[in-house]
Amino acid sequence: MELRQLRYYVAIVDHGSLSKAAVVLHIAQPALTQQLRQLEDELGVQLLHRSAQGMLSTDAGKIFYEHALAILKQVADARSAVTQSTERPSGSVTLGLPHSISGALALPLLTAVRAQYPEITLQLTEEITGNLSEQLKSGRINLAVLFDDGQLGGFATTALVEEELRFISASQPAGQASPAAPGTASGSNESEQSLTLAEALQNTLILPSPLQGVRPRIDSVARQAGLSLPHVIEINSIAILKSALLAHLGATILPAAPVLDELKRGSMRSQRIEQPAISRTVVLCASKNIPLTNAAEAIRKLVQQVSIQLCTDQLWPGATVLA
């Protein structure tokens, strides 16, 4: 198996046809077809099949595609690591961000990279946390922002912030007064409203599935308090979750950052959760087995710096810097 065969296969999958891939790769289509057949013969499986939509991956082909991407990225990183300067790091770095973090961190980080490291190409990928963990393990991404749930022993971690989780719901339609939070007098400042965790869990909650995002932390704190989540709608997309909130299908428990625009517009309201409060530890992770390039190490330090600055400037709501 040769690296060029991996590149050829990835190009065919990405472009959906042999002819288009051949043009991009500057190779004759018969030669490309021959390389694909040799690869399939060596693996002993069919990777692609023709359809009305073009060349589609088989189940084995989908698995091989993910490994091919990871291998090609590690080769590119290895080449970059021995050629780039520590004073002027350059090259490509891929950072994975969970949906609930990207709203706070993505744009400030891109701005900082452009100002401090113009020769680094930062590629941001937004995924659910389970996908990010797998991509980091396989080497498809260099770094990932994850949440410390006690299961990150396989990664090199750098603590970033402790982020408060709040009870978030849609505001009442125009002409209807928003109900006061339990234990809070009507007319109090909304930012001062609070409710207990037991009161929050009495509502229909729109949350990610048990293995994603904030859900493991919520389940853990509720279990320790002797509470359960009786009414849950599971949605793993932040965009769909927000639409469900605005449709008054339920409330949620999230950090404020993903819904900051809605809170500012007044279409949503947030309340502090007490007895007990809930927070999550946000950490930056790298593989213990795959060395960081100089560019990736520069981005790792920059993520720390940007996180500290956002908290100092109170631009990351509910977040407190961790030493």
- The pLDDT tens digits of the residues spanning 42-67 come to 888 888 887 776 788 888 888 888 88
Predicted confidence at residue 9, as pLDDT, reads 84
Rounded Cα distance between 46 and 40, Å, is 6
CATH 3.40.190.10, applies to 166-178+190-277: yes
Predicted confidence at residue 214, as pLDDT, reads 87
Predicted confidence at residue 316, as pLDDT, reads 92
Rounded Cα distance between 80 and 68, Å, is 18
Distance from first CA to last CA of the chain, Å, rounded? 46
Q: What is the pLDDT of residues 91-107, one digit of tens each?
A: 899 999 998 898 899 99
Rounded Cα distance between 2 and 108, Å, is 40
Beta 205-207 vs 232-234: how paired, if at all?
parallel
Residue intervals of the chain classified under CATH 1.10.10.10 are 3-67
Classify domain 85-161+282-321 at the CATH topology level.
Answer: D-Maltodextrin-Binding Protein; domain 2 (3.40.190)
Spans in the chain with pLDDT lower than 70: 53, 80-87, 173-192, 323
Q: What is the pLDDT of residues 220-235, one digit of tens each?
A: 999 999 999 999 999 9
Residue intervals of the chain classified under CATH 3.40.190.10 are 85-161+282-321, 166-178+190-277
Q: Name the pTM for this structure.
A: 0.70
DSSP string of 31-52, one letter each residue: HHHHHHHHHHHHHTS--EEEET
Angle between helices 99-116 and 294-312 (to 10 degrees): 110
Q: What's the angle, vertex CA 279, arms to CA 205 and CA 203, rounded to 5?
A: 15
Predicted confidence at residue 290, as pLDDT, reads 85
Rounded Cα distance between 286 and 93, Å, is 12
CATH 1.20.120.80, applies to 3-67: no
